[in-house]
Amino acid sequence: MMQLPERVEGFHHITVATGSAQGDVDLLVKTLGQRLVKKTMFYDGARPVYHLYFGNELGEPGTLYTTFPVRQAGYTGKRGAGQISAVSYNAPVGTLSWWQEHLIKRAVTVSEVRERFGQKYLSFEHPDCGVGFEIIEQDTDGQFEPWDSPYVPKEVALRGFHSWTATLNRNEEMDSFMRNAWNLKPQGRDGNYQRYAFGNGGAAKVLDVYIDEDERPGTWALGEGQVHHAAFEVADLDVQAALKFDVEGLGYTDFSDRKHRGYFESIYVRTPGGVLFEASVTLGFTHDESPEKLGSEVKVAPQLEGVKDELLRTMNDPIVI
């Protein structure tokens, strides 16, 4: 199979269907020290839900963890194969003991220090909905400046994503897609884990595949407690269009049309392994809020501004920072 030009640059964001908005704030902001960069709404279903964005100061691609808190809307699902099963953050080398103690103080059940691909890490779950997290020690050479959080000292603060892990029943077709369509390069194995990277790897450029032949497939619908999609950065709309054209030419035709998401332009493709990938063009978060005010107000599409208060009452999912 022909290998395409290297158009995908690395991670943009990860989007997760969670439980409650406050549960997300309690974990992402008050425990992990991320900034609530943007509060908006997701309108694709019959009932509106929040779309919350957490990241570093300006929400750079590679730091963005976004959530749909869907419990109040009644959207349920099942975790399993064909999904992203763990989202891993970078922490400075030598800080895992601090993070372990901090997580315990915040009533988060956390593992002992483990090692994979020669790197030490901790694993834990979102206390409100069960989604998997890891914190991995890695020197990121200043690539992502952390948010100056009142909850986490800057010297131990998380510095963007390290990697994401997809759980699959088998990897043959997904391996071909990632190498030939998504310009990921195999980096080696550690037990049931196969590692891939964009370019030479580094922060927000590593994707791991965990093979579990016995894991039942997870649901694809938007449901509480599962990662909905993994979004990757491309340079501009022309590159995005060329990527779609060429990937469809390889036979991977389950692509969406372009979606305008307010802060980025997106196309989606269902991969052979079942994981939903997105290719995103960044528009930024400061066109409707100043850098100092990011995340301070709920932002909606202009045509919905007149009914915003009614939508918020319908959601009944309050947030206290």
The 10 Å Cβ neighbour count of residue 238 is: 10
- Among 287, 285, 309, which residue's Cα sits nearest to residue 298? 309
Q: What pLDDT sits at residue 303?
A: 83
Neighbour order of strands in the sheet with 64-69? 259-260, 264-270, 276-282, 226-233, 10-18, 64-69, 49-55, 35-42, 298-299
Segment 192-204, tens digit of pLDDT:
999 999 999 999 9
User: How does pLDDT run across 246-281, given as a tens digit for each residue?
Assistant: 999 999 999 999 999 999 999 999 999 999 999 999
Range of the domain at 306: 10-315
59-77 average pLDDT score: 96
Say how far apart CA 66 and CA 55 lie, in whole Å.
9
SS3 content of the chain, % helix, strand, coil (to 5): 20, 35, 45
Q: Is 2 a residue whose pLDDT tops 80? A: no
**Residue 174, in any domain of the structure:** yes
DSSP lists the bridge partners of residue 16 as: 67, 227
Nearest Cα residue to 65 out of 19, 95, 25: 25
Q: By C-alpha distance, which of 67, 53, 45, 130 is closest to 314?
A: 45
Indicate the pLDDT class of residue 157, thresholds 50, 70 and 90: very high
**Domain annotation covers residue 14:** yes
Give the residue from 303, 300, 242, 302 showing the smallest Cα distance to 267: 242
Q: Tell whether the model's pLDDT for residue 302 goes beyond 90.
A: no
Q: Kindly indicate the confidence band of residue 153, based on its pLDDT and cuts at 50, 70 and 90.
A: very high
Rounded percentage of the chain residues whose pLDDT exceeds 70 = 99
Contact present, 194 and 207 (Cβ < 8 Å):
no
Q: Is residue 87 part of a domain?
A: yes
Quote the number of domains for the chain.
1
Residue 213 lies in a domain: yes
Q: 247 in a domain, yes or no? A: yes
Confidence category of residue 35, pLDDT binned at 50, 70, 90: very high
State residue 44's pLDDT score: 66
* CATH code of residue 181: 3.10.180.10
Average pLDDT of the chain? 96
**Percent of the chain scored above 90 by pLDDT?**
89
Measured between its terminal Cα atoms, the distance across the chain in Å is 50
The answer to whether position 34 is within a domain reads yes
Region 228-241: what's the mean pLDDT?
98
- Residues 6 or more apart whose CB falls under 8 angstroms from that of 214 comprise none
Output the pLDDT for position 45. Answer: 62
Residue 123 near residue 134 (C-beta atoms within 8 A): yes
4 occurs within a structural domain: no
Residue 238 confidence (pLDDT):
98
Q: Is residue 1 part of a domain?
A: no
pTM score of the predicted model: 0.97
Residues 6+ apart with CB under 8 A from 239: 7, 281
At residue 316, the pLDDT reads 86
